[in-house]
Every structure is written in structure tokens, then in C-alpha cells.
A and B are shown apart, each in its own frame.
Chain A
């Protein structure tokens, strides 16, 4: 066992020792369950909890039972909002501050030295929300019959290493081991993310009835439901991580703190989740969690009506949809009226906007132009970032190039802060030295006589501010003799033009931060977000079949990235990352404009145990890892 896991195991051990202490005392449950137990409708709480329930220390105080947490759902594509509240109950989860993973459904885990074997010990006596036991068999069903079953769906890359899928074996009734053909350094992180819930997503005793391997008569069910094939039937009844049907079937057993009672379906006007009687966590006094009775949402179509509901005090928790900069004054102003306070949601790193010049441009002239580091430096110096921040972002950010914020182990000062100053004189000097003379209209020309003029693609509906920012940059660059035109595109055109056709001059996009979990798409061309090197990205992802071979420096960075992926030891990862950062800093390929901004959500004033600030990300699905099951209402 290596250092990394020892540290984590230590935490888990301390946790379980604590549990023994609690076990001697009695467990408490919500009053509604007391009544049901007395009436014989529900087994007593001791039997519903696992042998050693996970003991969670609430952030500030031990809570009391009761209340409804009201949130606002939109009528379409908002299913992940529910996921972000109940949380992805995987084998492991993120800690509340996004610094590492802690055991969740697994009581402990072990990783071998070269990160190929991951062994999980499940909590004994865990139960699904319908009271059936949760066992190793469920994990085997999820992995062998669904995750690795190409008939059901292709296996997502995080369950593969070196192109080969992992395998799973049962060690004993409570222990299960995943084995990879090559090192899978980020597998634990992957498992803690919402998309890493697959190994424990489905309850075998329920969902196997929709699987042809377990139910010979599945065709009859398919015909009855009219869905066409068993895969669709399975998804309809048992859902998947990221589809609305996950919240559409109240009968589907889960391990979540709250379970669906009024489902999120096409015509739904209200969605309700009620307390799971078999939830497996208790607080330090042995009270079964969650404290809050119900989560409830009105389905609103319109974001404006969500804001109105917040002002009217009809929402107890809101962040998604309402946290744009333009809404902040309204939300801040109405705190009294709406009986809420605001909490900060901090991005871990990243930029509000990055400008990716197309370094693999099909037009040789533009490609040669963009390829010169001095040209890029001139563009960076030609931007007045402070003006942009003051006018468009209401002063809420600071100039930034790439990379994590100070405090992160992945911070690199040069990468983040080089060429941030607004220095048009030096920019002009650099461009003069490169030999680009100004024409009669003040715009510089290439040796061929062609004007230096290019377009930047942007999706106006995605982040409307980006268009405003580009408008300012357009004027600022004109001062240094460079003509840039803003090219607003419908989003599908944007993707066709860039990711598929590589036909763009340049593009802007917000860049998610936090090197702990994020792809460094601006440092290495690995993903469609690497809009500065699409042809290289294609070459890398297709193993050389399409695209074009990257230059030496990029190739070495790609190798570095492969090594990082295969390393589970934090110190080694950091060392490799430091080298990657330094190489990217020296190359200076992508221009950052400003840091990602902190946004603000709202929480009912009477809600206790809500942190004043929390990370804001998808990988750490805000706010779930702060454990909403420990929140409660304090009435004075």
C-alpha cells in the first residue's frame, strides 16, 4: 500500500473506531418512521441501518428532523439538478472541501503500488431504499452485465486503461476488486465524480428483471412498454447517470438520502423526493440522516420566474440557473424579503474566457502568423484586461492566463501571470520587429500584402458576456494594428465548424479549472476543448489515424499526460504536472483573459450547516458533497 492510500485508510479507520463508540448507544429516527415502526410497517431503525453506519459530523450543529427543502427545477434538461442535491452515492465520494476522496458505500479501500488493483470493502448490512440488502453481487451485476456489456452501451473510457477494459472479481461477501491491464492513476477520482457511479448504480434484485441475462421473458416487457429493445426498456425503468428517466421511476431502489416520490417526467409540474428509510448515515449522536423530510421543486419553464420565486421566498436553495453576474444585484437586494442569505461558490481554477488561436489552421499564412510566439505575446499585451473586467464583469475577477489559482499544488506563476499587463507600446514594437507594416487604414499587413485580419468564433447564447468582452478586445487590438472580427455562431455550427471541420481562425470558451480532476485541455491537445490544436487532438485521440502529427514539444507533453494519468501517488503527479505546466508556460499557446468568477447561491436563513462558501464544479457536483442530509431548519 502506498502513502496516498495509507493516509486515506487512516481516516477511514479513525472513522470506524468512532462508530464502535456510537454503536453502543441507541439510534434515533425521524418521527414519521417512529409511527410506521410502531404500526409494524417498517422494521426498527437498528435493523434498517448497516451494522456500522457511517458517522457524519455535521458542519456546525446536530440537527432536528423536519421541513421541506424547496428548489427550482426547469422543465427540460435539468435532471442533473436533482443529482447535484442527492449526490452521486458511489463507492467513494469527495470530501466537503474538494481536497481528496473519502469512502462512501465502501467502508475502506486499498490501491496497489502501480495503481492497477483497487480493492473495496463494502459496509456490512447496507440496504437499498426498498430494504433489500446491498451486496457485492450488485457490484458484479453493474460491472459485468452492464458496464462491460457492449450490447448495453459502450464502456466509458474511465473504466479502461490502455484501451482495455478493467475486470472485477469478488474476494469475499463484502470485498470486491477492480483490476486494470495498465495503471489507472485517476480511477479513485473518477469514482468520486457523478459519472463514476456506474459500479453501484443499479439494484440487481430490481433492475435484473429488465435484463435478458436474468429474465428470459424480457421481450414481453419490451413489447408491453413499446420502447423497441431491452436496452431502452432498462434505461426507461432504471435510468442512467445522466438521463431524466433516472428520476422518473419511484419504484427504482437507490442508496440516496432522498428517493423520488413525484417523478420528474415530461409533463411534471412538481417533483418531490422523500426521506429514504434505509439511508445508511447517522450523525454523531446516532440520529439517522437526513434531517430534512422532503426535497420539493416546482417545475418552472422560465429562469425569470425562478428568480421571482427566490425573491418571493419560495426557494430554499438555489445556485444553478440563477447565479449569473447580472442577477447578483437583484439577489443581494432582496435577501430580507426572500428570507435567504447568499453563499459563495468558488471555481477551483480556470478562466472566464480563453482565446484559442488555431495553431493547426488549414490556411498556411494564418497558421504561420499564429505560430509565432511573439505575435501571441503582442496580442496578450494588447489586451486591457482590467478594462474588460471593470466594464463587463463588474470588477468581479482579475487578469489571468492559464492554470490553477495560488494555493493549489498545481499552481505555476509563470503560466498564470505572464504577459498580463496592458502594454500597447511593447506590443507594437514586437509586431514591428516581426515585420508587419501598417497599411493606410492602420491595420498591419502580412508580407503577401494581405491584411492581418481574423475571426473569433463565439456562442452568444452560452455566455452572452463573451460577445461583450470580444467587442472590447476588438477595439483594443485595432490599436496595435490587428483586425479581429467577432463571429457569433449557433452552438451546433460552432461545434461542426471547429471540432469536426477545424475551419476556425480562433474561438473562445470558458475553461473549467481545478487540475485535481480536469483535463488540462489548454496545456495539451487532448479534447475538443483544445481548440488551439484540433488537428493534433484528432491525431492523438485516433492514435495517428487522422489529424496531423504534433511537433516534438507537443508530443512530449502528450507523453507527460499519459504518465500523469497512470500515476496515483499525489507527489509524483504534482512533479509531472509541474513539468507539464512549465512546458506549456514556455510555449504560451492559449491566451487567458480573466479568472473564473465566484458566483453566489442562495439558502434559506433558517437552514443550518450550509457552508458559507463551497467549490463550484461538476466533478464535485455542487453542492452535494457538503452533505445536504446534514442540513436542517432551525426555528427560533
Chain B
């Protein structure tokens, strides 16, 4: 297993290199650069920008250099652990990213727990009690959850909250805790706000997991080993949980692999709408503003997370399901 992990990690290096090159090319592909984009964005709000200062900025940021030179300036820094400065904020990219990533992690983790916690029992129930009233209710809710885009649920919920209840469901903290250092009170405040985005973000994952669980379990339930076990007199719930459910769990474990890149790219639009202080909106902003180093760092991290996530889910899969072997 150790050699397997090492081999996978070594393969990751050329992949990351290629990914960084593609990422950088994609970021610089749209016409113009950070400076023109900034000037245009300000112009849309009626502001004017000093042309002389713009030219100086472009030279300072090296935007007048050929693309390949800019790439090596960037990747050279990254290899030394320096992600560079954000053009827009004059702040180190690393600070900006880590600040947001912590909250992304909490949100993503909570959403995953929520989705599993809800999907697992409901999925098992709908499979075992196929075509019961409960199964139909779960199925309808599941289809609804799959069909409704998360950001739409967010918008509707925000509107209802503001117009009918006079409250605000955006953000992750009350105003007095936003800039406060971490404390127990801040943590409980976070929990008080967290459930809304967790439910909004969790609906589609939960819905799809319910469907997957139900389908997988139904496949297993009719297999001969289940009949055998039942014939041997094993209690029904113990039987189901110990054998078929364990096999049906594989897709759940695979979702861990997706969860890692979701730390950054997860639910960008929903987080944008809800003004959540997570990594997604910052990445979108950086891409829109052509803030190259910030956007580049995000995309590079996204690739790293994908690689690590897939590796972890492969390992877990092998641990959960003895039929799967490392090769």
C-alpha cells in the first residue's frame, strides 16, 4: 500500500505541472489584463481611472511581459512557497486563501455530515420499505432536491426571510463577531448561522445519495446471500446493516474524493448569493477581476485537492470493501 501511495504521489507531479500551465493559460486567455479589467469595472460604476497610473501599474505587475515569462515568474515563486501578491488587494495571496479556506472546510465538512446523516437512514428505509408511503415521500423530496438548483433555493429563502420575517440569512456570523477573534461565543454564533447554508448546499447531495443508496441496496437485497442469512435466522436489521448496506456504501466513500476540491469550487454561486466568507466567491472574484496570482493559486490548490481527495477515497474504498485491491 505504501508503494501504491508513493507511486500515485510521484505521478501527481507532472500532472500538477501540466495543470498549472493550463490554469495559467486559461486565466490569461480572456483579452485584457487585471489593469484593463479594473478600469472597466470602475467605469461601470461611473468612476474614472488615472491613465498614467494604469500604465505604471501594468509595468510594475509585469503584465507587459510575454505570457511565458509571466508564467515562470509566477511558478518560480510558487515553488519557493511564495504565491505572490494579489493585484487587487496588495496582500499576500497565501493570507487571503488560508483565511477563507478554514471556513470553507467547516462548511464543507458540516454539509457532508448532514448529507450522509440524512441520506443514509432514508436511503436504507426507502430500499427496505420499497413502495411504501415513506418511500414515496422520500423519493418526491429527493427528486425535488435534485431538480432545484441550490442557488435558487438560497434566493427564495433569502427573500422569504427578509420580506416575511425581517431577518437576514446571509453570511456566517452576526456583525459583532465578524472581526472578533475566535471564542466560544463566536463558535456558537457560527453554529447558529451555519445550518442554513448547510441545508441549502446539502439538498442536492442528500437527494442524490438517497437515490444511489436506495438503488444499490435494492440490487443487493435480492441476492442469494441475503436469503441465506435470513434463512439462518439473523435478525432483519442486523442482517441489512451488516452485509448489503456495507456494500452499498461504496458510492458514499467515493464522495469523499469529490469533497476535497469542493472546498474551493463547491457551490460558488450559492456562496456568492449568500455572501458566505468561503473560498468560492473569492475565487470567482479573482477570476472575474483577472487577479492572476490569486486566481492561479486557487486553481492550483483545486488541482492539489482533487489529487489528494481521489487518493484518500481510493484508499478508503479499499479499506471498506475487501474486494478492491491496490495495484
- The reply to whether B60 and A245 form a contact with Cβ atoms under 8 Å apart is no
A480-511 contact mask (Cβ, 8 Å, vs B): 1 or 0: 00000000001111011000000000000000
Determine the chain A residues whose CB is within 8 A of the CB of B45 once the complex forms.
77-78, 80-81, 320-321
Q: How far is the CA of A462 from the CA of B41 in the complex (A)?
A: 9
A233-245 contact mask (Cβ, 8 Å, vs B): 1 or 0: 0011000111111
Determine the chain A residues whose CB is within 8 A of the CB of B36 once the complex forms.
492, 495
- The reply to whether A618 and B168 form a contact with Cβ atoms under 8 Å apart is no
Least CB distance, B165 to chain A, in whole angstroms: 10
Chain A, residue nearest B91 (CB): A266
Determine the chain B residues whose CB is within 8 A of the CB of A300 once the complex forms.
170, 275
Q: How far is the CA of A76 from the CA of B281 in the complex (A)?
A: 10
Q: How far is the CA of A88 from the CA of B258 in the complex (A)?
A: 49
Which of B155, B275, B288 makes the CB contact (< 8 A) with A76?
B288
B14 sits at the interface (CB 8 A): no
Q: How far is the CA of A267 from the CA of B281 in the complex (A)?
A: 10
A178-208 contact mask (Cβ, 8 Å, vs B): 1 or 0: 0000000000000000010000000000000
- The reply to whether B96 and A618 form a contact with Cβ atoms under 8 Å apart is no
Determine the chain B residues whose CB is within 8 A of the CB of A512 once the complex forms.
46
Q: How far is the CA of A337 from the CA of B46 in the complex (A)?
A: 29
B contacts with A, residue count (CB < 8 A):
58
B322 sits at the interface (CB 8 A): no
Q: Given the interface contacts A154-B53, A496-B31, does A617 sit within 8 Å of B158 by beta carbon?
A: no
- The reply to whether B91 and A495 form a contact with Cβ atoms under 8 Å apart is no
A449 sits at the interface (CB 8 A): no
Which of B43, B99, B273, B282 makes the CB contact (< 8 A) with A302?
B273
- The reply to whether A77 and B179 form a contact with Cβ atoms under 8 Å apart is no
B106 sits at the interface (CB 8 A): no
Least CB distance, A44 to chain B, in whole angstroms: 30
B85 sits at the interface (CB 8 A): yes
Q: How far is the CA of A244 from the CA of B291 in the complex (A)?
A: 13
B65 sits at the interface (CB 8 A): no
Q: Given the interface contacts A195-B48, A267-B277, A618-B47, does A308 sit within 8 Å of B55 by beta carbon?
A: no
A contacts with B, residue count (CB < 8 A):
64
A124 sits at the interface (CB 8 A): no
B44 sits at the interface (CB 8 A): yes
- The reply to whether B275 and A267 form a contact with Cβ atoms under 8 Å apart is no
Determine the chain B residues whose CB is within 8 A of the CB of A304 once the complex forms.
155, 273
Q: How far is the CA of A81 from the CA of B158 in the complex (A)?
A: 25
Least CB distance, A263 to chain B, in whole angstroms: 9
Least CB distance, A322 to chain B, in whole angstroms: 11
Q: Given the interface contacts A242-B47, A301-B281, does A232 sit within 8 Å of B90 by beta carbon?
A: yes
A42-83 contact mask (Cβ, 8 Å, vs B): 1 or 0: 000000000000000000000000000000000111101100
Determine the chain A residues whose CB is within 8 A of the CB of B289 once the complex forms.
76-77
Determine the chain A residues whose CB is within 8 A of the CB of B110 once the complex forms.
none
Least CB distance, B52 to chain A, in whole angstroms: 4
- The reply to whether B50 and A267 form a contact with Cβ atoms under 8 Å apart is no
Report which residue of A153, A493, A619 has the largest number of chain B beta carbons within 10 angstroms of its beta carbon. A153
Least CB distance, B290 to chain A, in whole angstroms: 9
B266-289 contact mask (Cβ, 8 Å, vs A): 1 or 0: 000000111101000110110011
Chain A, residue nearest B285 (CB): A76
A442 sits at the interface (CB 8 A): no
Determine the chain A residues whose CB is within 8 A of the CB of B281 once the complex forms.
75, 301
- The reply to whether A76 and B88 form a contact with Cβ atoms under 8 Å apart is yes
- The reply to whether A308 and B173 form a contact with Cβ atoms under 8 Å apart is no
Which of B31, B85, B100, B285 makes the CB contact (< 8 A) with A227?
B85
B82 sits at the interface (CB 8 A): yes
Q: How far is the CA of A311 from the CA of B159 in the complex (A)?
A: 10
Chain A, residue nearest B272 (CB): A301
Q: How far is the CA of A245 from the CA of B53 in the complex (A)?
A: 15
Q: How far is the CA of A255 from the CA of B170 in the complex (A)?
A: 34
Q: How far is the CA of A229 from the CA of B59 in the complex (A)?
A: 13
B163 sits at the interface (CB 8 A): yes
Determine the chain A residues whose CB is within 8 A of the CB of B175 once the complex forms.
270, 296, 298
- The reply to whether A492 and B275 form a contact with Cβ atoms under 8 Å apart is no
Q: Given the interface contacts A245-B89, A617-B46, does A492 sit within 8 Å of B32 by beta carbon?
A: yes
Report which residue of A236, A312, A616 has the largest number of chain B beta carbons within 10 angstroms of its beta carbon. A312
A125-165 contact mask (Cβ, 8 Å, vs B): 1 or 0: 00000000000000000000000000001111100000000
Determine the chain A residues whose CB is within 8 A of the CB of B90 once the complex forms.
227, 232, 235-236, 243-245, 248
Q: How far is the CA of A240 from the CA of B88 in the complex (A)?
A: 12
Determine the chain B residues whose CB is within 8 A of the CB of A28 once the complex forms.
none
- The reply to whether B275 and A248 form a contact with Cβ atoms under 8 Å apart is no
Q: How far is the CA of A493 from the CA of B32 in the complex (A)?
A: 8
A226 sits at the interface (CB 8 A): yes
B48-65 contact mask (Cβ, 8 Å, vs A): 1 or 0: 111011011000100000
B189 sits at the interface (CB 8 A): no
Q: How far is the CA of A266 from the CA of B48 in the complex (A)?
A: 22
A284 sits at the interface (CB 8 A): no
Chain A, residue nearest B159 (CB): A308
A254-289 contact mask (Cβ, 8 Å, vs B): 1 or 0: 000000001001110110100000000000000000
Q: Given the interface contacts A156-B53, A240-B53, A266-B96, does A308 sit within 8 Å of B41 by beta carbon?
A: no
A526 sits at the interface (CB 8 A): no
Determine the chain A residues whose CB is within 8 A of the CB of B44 once the complex forms.
461-462
Chain A, residue nearest B165 (CB): A312
Q: How far is the CA of A73 from the CA of B31 in the complex (A)?
A: 27
A369 sits at the interface (CB 8 A): no
- The reply to whether A77 and B41 form a contact with Cβ atoms under 8 Å apart is yes
Chain A, residue nearest B162 (CB): A312
Q: Given the interface contacts A490-B30, A493-B31, A495-B36, does A265 sit within 8 Å of B52 by beta carbon?
A: no
B92 sits at the interface (CB 8 A): yes
- The reply to whether A154 and B55 form a contact with Cβ atoms under 8 Å apart is yes
Q: How far is the CA of A76 from the CA of B284 in the complex (A)?
A: 10
B86 sits at the interface (CB 8 A): yes
Determine the chain A residues whose CB is within 8 A of the CB of B37 once the complex forms.
492
B22 sits at the interface (CB 8 A): no
Determine the chain B residues whose CB is within 8 A of the CB of A77 once the complex forms.
38, 41-42, 45, 88, 289
Q: How far is the CA of A490 from the CA of B30 in the complex (A)?
A: 9
Which of B31, B42, B92, B99 makes the CB contact (< 8 A) with A80?
B42
Which of A235, A262, A296, A312 makes the CB contact (< 8 A) with B166?
A312
Q: How far is the CA of A380 from the CA of B132 in the complex (A)?
A: 72
Please name 24 pairs of A and B residues whose Cβ atoms are closer than 8 Å in the assembled complex, sorted by A: A75-B285, A81-B45, A154-B55, A195-B48, A226-B85, A227-B90, A232-B85, A265-B89, A266-B96, A298-B171, A298-B275, A301-B281, A304-B155, A308-B159, A308-B162, A312-B162, A312-B163, A312-B168, A313-B166, A321-B45, A491-B40, A492-B36, A495-B40, A496-B32
15 extra interchain contacts, Cβ-Cβ under 8 A, other than A157-B52, A314-B168, A492-B30?
A75-B282, A76-B41, A77-B289, A153-B53, A154-B55, A226-B85, A226-B92, A229-B60, A232-B60, A232-B90, A236-B85, A242-B49, A267-B96, A267-B99, A491-B40
Q: Which residues of B contact A (CB under 8 A)?
A: 30-32, 36-38, 40-50, 52-53, 55-56, 60, 82, 85-86, 88-92, 96, 99-100, 155, 158-159, 162-163, 166, 168, 170-171, 173, 175, 178-179, 272-275, 277, 281-282, 284-285, 288-289, 294
State the 4 A-B residue pairs at the shortest beta-carbon distance, nearest first: A492-B32, A492-B31, A312-B162, A266-B89
